[in-house]
Amino acid sequence: MSGIILPGADGVLFPRDRAWHPPANTPGYKSATFRAPRNSLLSLGGTASELTGPTFGHSSLNALDNDLIRNYSQDGTEAIGQRLIVYGQVLDENARAVPNTLVEFWQANAGGRYRHKKEGYLAPLDRNFGGCGRAITDADGFYSFRTIKPGAYPWPNGGNDWRPAHIHFSVFGHAFAQRLITQMYFEGDPMIWQCPIVGTIPDKAAIDQLIARLDRHNTTPMDALAYRFDIVLRGRRSTMFENKLEGN
Amino acid sequence: MLHPVPRLRETPSQTAGPYVHIGMTPNFADIRGVYASDLGASMLTPDTAGERIIITGRVIDGAGVPVGDAVVELWQADSNGSYAAPMGPGSNVAPAFTGWGRQPTDADGVFSFETIKPGPVPGPDGRPMAPHVALWIVARGINIGLQTRLYFADEADANATDWVLGKIADPLRRATLIAHREDGAPPRYVLDIYLQGDRETVFFDV
């Protein structure tokens, strides 16, 4: 195996650029007020406990896990809403594909209503839409799923705040320190720039990374629009040159 | 040193929001029939070696209110101090112990993992770190997942020389990572996680 670094091999990660991420305390997003730690994070640099992480076999998934249009069907019919294919590539900071990693997603229905007992929005539930799904990336780091476009919805934060249409994502990578949760938005949506949760991210270029692009080429004719959302996880500082290891 | 390829920027984090249980523990959220069971709900198999224990506690916010909409993930070594090897695309059989668990907090902010006591893992200095599990906490109001560790109070000697605990000068802060033991069958290790305030847990930039 000389000269090859397998995914999951030891290698310290690039430090996380905390200025690219939202800070803990964000006054515009009030839920953070009592949930934001006030002490500085203790910098560890990474030990085996953070540089390893859980992995999942493709056999742990069911055929409909990546089809939110059908995976909660109660009566054999499909979920209501604008039909979408959402797909993308999971990469690391070294621009290398991250294969065989679990990607999970959850979202509101087409009316902007979540299937949750604490959800109080007046838009109706869709009896055939549960709102969760998952996929494992292929050898080239790609995932895909079928869903309906979630609706925008109002939420109690300021007097009249609305969430733009969005899909929540959870991604594992191959190290526990790569663990990431984020949200995907839709190209061209003017609601993105009015959202206090989007606004927790300081840099507009970072927000732009969360906006999926309409992809006409991968649309299924007479069926579903396609949006592409690539996800970048932290990368390892060890980098391959021929048979020689560079970095540390 | 020059890097061979331009580095991409990590995708920025966003809060998991109030309904993270829909996506990560749907059966707990009463969304049934999509997944047979919630991923990570059960860490043990009959073939898992090691001392059975329960790791439990509450997540509490800066106003002292239990956080009932969180998810806690746990990653740990096996009883020999080894982390599970990555599963390849052809892996159909999960190991007897994957070392990973995921639990929702309930309305009282309580999480609970049935697992095994981990063995010691080598630290960066080559010496063993004290037995510990890594924890990751997400919820509404948490803009980027919080990484911390749980150590075991009955490993006082190992804790005294641990590579990570040694970085925390204040003994009160260090104590925020050490679970106390309650005897029983199985024994319980109990640690509350305080997101903010006088007893705020030490969180890591890993």
For residue B5, what pLDDT is reported? 64
Q: What does the pLDDT average to over B5-27?
A: 95
Give me the tens of pLDDT residue by residue for chain A, a chain 248 residues long.
333 333 334 579 999 999 999 999 999 999 999 999 999 999 998 899 999 999 998 878 999 999 999 999 999 999 999 999 999 999 999 999 999 999 999 999 999 999 999 999 999 999 999 999 999 999 999 999 999 999 999 999 999 999 999 999 999 999 999 999 999 999 999 999 999 999 999 999 999 999 999 999 999 999 999 999 999 999 998 754 434 444 43
Cβ contacts of A207 on chain B, cutoff 8 Å: 12
- Report yes or no: B76 and B25 within 8 Å, Cβ to Cβ: no
Q: What does the pLDDT average to over B177-188?
A: 97
For residue A230, what pLDDT is reported? 98
CB contact under 8 A, B6 and A58: no
Q: What does the pLDDT average to over B116-131?
A: 95
Tokens encoding B102: 């995921």
Q: What does the pLDDT average to over B14-25?
A: 98
CB contact under 8 A, B15 and A72: no
Cβ contacts of A174 on chain B, cutoff 8 Å: 86
CATH for A61-246, options being 2.60.130.10, 3.40.50.11810, 3.40.1010.10, 3.30.565.10: 2.60.130.10
Interface of B with A in 174-193 (CB under 8 A): none
Distance between start and end Cα atoms, chain A: 18
In chain A, where the domains are located: 61-246
Please state which CATH class domain B20-80+97-194 belongs to: mainly beta
Interface of A with B in 201-240 (CB under 8 A): 201, 205-207, 209-210, 231-235, 239
ipTM of the complex: 0.95
User: Rounded to the nearest 5°, which phi and psi values hold at B48?
Assistant: -70, 125
CA distance B107 to B28: 12
Task: Find the closest chain A residue to B77 by CA distance.
Answer: A49
A153 among known catalytic residues: yes
Place of tokens 């650029």: A17
Partner residue opposite A232 with nearest CB, options B5, B9, B34: B9
Indicate whether B88 pLDDT > 70: no
For the ranges A3-7, B15-19, B39-43, B138-142, the lowest mean pLDDT is seen at A3-7
Q: Which ranges of chain A does DSSP label H, i.e. alpha helix?
A: 48-51, 204-208
Q: Among residues A83, A96, A114, A213, which one is catalytic?
A: A114
Task: Find the closest chain A residue to B14 by CA distance.
Answer: A182
CA distance B162 to B149: 12
Cβ contacts of B72 on chain A, cutoff 8 Å: none
- Report yes or no: A104 and A169 within 8 Å, Cβ to Cβ: yes
Helix (H) or strand (E) run with residue B24 in it: helix B20-24
In chain B, where the domains are located: 20-80+97-194
User: Rounded to the nearest 5°, which phi and psi values hold at B113?
Assistant: -120, 130
| Interior/surface letters A217-245, b for 16+ CB within 10 angstroms, e for the rest | eeeeeeebbbbbbbbbbbbbbbbeeeeee
Going by pLDDT thresholds of 50, 70 and 90, the confidence category of residue B85 is confident
